[in-house]
Structure 1
Amino acid sequence: MDPRITQLAEMLVRDAIALKKDENILIETTDTPADLSVALIRAVSKAGGRPFLTHHRSAVNRVLLQNASDAQLKIAAEHDLAFMKNMQAYLSIRGSDNFVELSDVPEDRTFANRTIRHPVLDWRVNKTRWCVLRWPTPSMAQGAGMSTEAFEDFYFKACLADYPAMQKAAKALVDLMNKTNKVRLVAPDTDLSFSIQNIPAVPCCGTMNIPDGEVYTAPVRESVNGVIHYNTPTLYEGKKFENTRLVFKDGKIVEATSSNTEAMNAIFDTDKGARYIGEFAIGFNPFVLHPMCDILFDEKIAGSIHFTPGRCYEDAYNGNQSAIHWDLVLIMRPEYGGGEIYFDDRLIRKDGIFVIPELDALNPDKLGAAK
């Protein structure tokens, strides 16, 4: 077994999940090797926990969804919710032999699955200690424009970053965001303003998603006004979207265009909350610099923000509820057009680099990235 697999499994169980003796943990794997499952079960057992594991194949899930009735989806969701209620922790590792495997699942089936399974997702996110990450596959390497071997090296470096140092450096950003009222984002075809007053800022430095490296909060729900033009491609339910541009008025998305405008607006019409924002976050993982159409990596890109239509988190609660949570990313480094972040009219980051002394420790050269 590759020793990096063992190292990753032990870090996930010991640090990211912080599993305790006699706790139950559901491990869900998709398109991943047996070595990973073995390493995770051993790590959980070493910690004194009780592992429960389910393994999925994307190609099988596709056929199930294509042929599933609402009644069938409801039975599965009720079963999964009852099972999830017995878990104290949840870990999901998702590989993909084909990123767009679900692209030809009928929209009415993806919509039904999304809404019927919402209670399962809601319980998992808000009632368990959870961590979600990808598994490196040739298709991921392709998306990153790298050889499989080079991508695996990058993957383990990014996932096994120095999270204690990152956590220490992020404290100043958390403190500043907790004191901030107005945020303004400026970039090419982007000028967006909103308030984050009295909504907590939450650091993510080696816990809920791996690779990690962000601080998130949420806008005051009706405070968002202006336009944002995301420059990072995204996948949602097997469909790819590029050049996404959203116009907001009093918090609501009133205009949405992209390379697939019709499908995008269908997603935003899932429910009332889908056209409002549930998360605003600043990314700073020093090893993740370029998009690969994988949100668990792309949202951590150094010099990026993500501004997320849909459900908010309970620990950064702005009241928005939805069956969707769609992290859309804007990279603000010079090679992607640059950009600025202002807190209460004070410039705090320019072209992806924090420019005030108290946040300098979060810049890539301070967090261990190669110069």
Structure 2
Amino acid sequence: MVAELIWQHKHNPYAAGLPPAPLLETCEHVPPAPWAGAELVGGTAGMEGWENRLIEGDKRLVLPALLGEFAGAVDLIYVDPPFMTERTYRGGRGLAYHDRWQRNLDGYLQWLYETFLLLYRLLAPHGSLYVHLDWRAVHFARLLLDEVFREAAAAGGGFQNEIIWHYHSGGRPRRSRGFARKHDTLLLYTRSRQYCFHGERVGPVRGRERRNHMRRQVAEDGRVCWTIHSGGRLYRYYEDERMTPADVWCDISHLHQRDPERNGYATQKPAALLERVLLASSEENDLVLDCFCGSGVTPAVAERLGRRWIACDQSPLAIEVTRERLLQMGPRQAFCLQRVAGTVSE
């Protein structure tokens, strides 16, 4: 049984089918950019004939436009949507986006619900969805996702993890009474039990730290290991092996104001965060989607790791910043800039 979240004017606009999908028009083709002596981490095999896509437009139009070609075909989706902060985000390069809802929680929930419904249709049977939010709305998002993934949960999919990204930022809480809020939350949902996951790629090396009541020993081959007896069995773990990654990430810093990685876009996330997500939940040549690409970190990391990607945002600044970020990369696969037909960039 799944609890259902109810709000005013809740409805599934796609229950009776999708409306006619808008068309996407290509505004620019950007050729690949090889660098002498450099290679993509994942190589280029299997990408022949593929062109990555950077799309300007509201996800309400872009996602339906993608469904005709990519329904059930996206291997990994990462989204970092507006958090319902009631703020307008600007940077040194101008307006990034408005995250203002006039305290209309019902409107925000309906907007988020429609987003999840479309993303679910795009997700491959073995695919994974990461939703990045904070304390304001993540508890609502989990109930919405439980509903959208209800059928997937019956097949062993659905909710898999709640990941806490704890960052060491400065500052104090605005209110004198209370604990400082120093983390975001990533929710991981999958379409089925057979989803891609490689913890061995991203887990920390065990190292020399003693855990539980383990004993440190030197194996016959000279490798240092830790052993422990449990349930009548002897378990052996080597110092140079990776552990299963935990669901609390404390080792990835947020981007400081003067961090060289910053490109002038508000709410920019560190590349290390997306690298962990992509390495754990995708393979080379897999298709990655981010419909709130913002600073362009998802397509940039996907490019470097040899994944195919589709990145979208309704903010002209986000598209400009992402395009510039990609152009500075090398080597780089070809990509095209698209927008919904009939719209004009501001």
Fold match, TM over 0.5?
no
TM-score, length basis structure 2: 0.27
Higher relative contact order (CA 8 A, sep 6+): 2
Q: What's the TM-score once normalised by structure 1's chain length?
A: 0.26
**Structure index of larger Rg:** 2
Higher-helix-fraction structure: 1
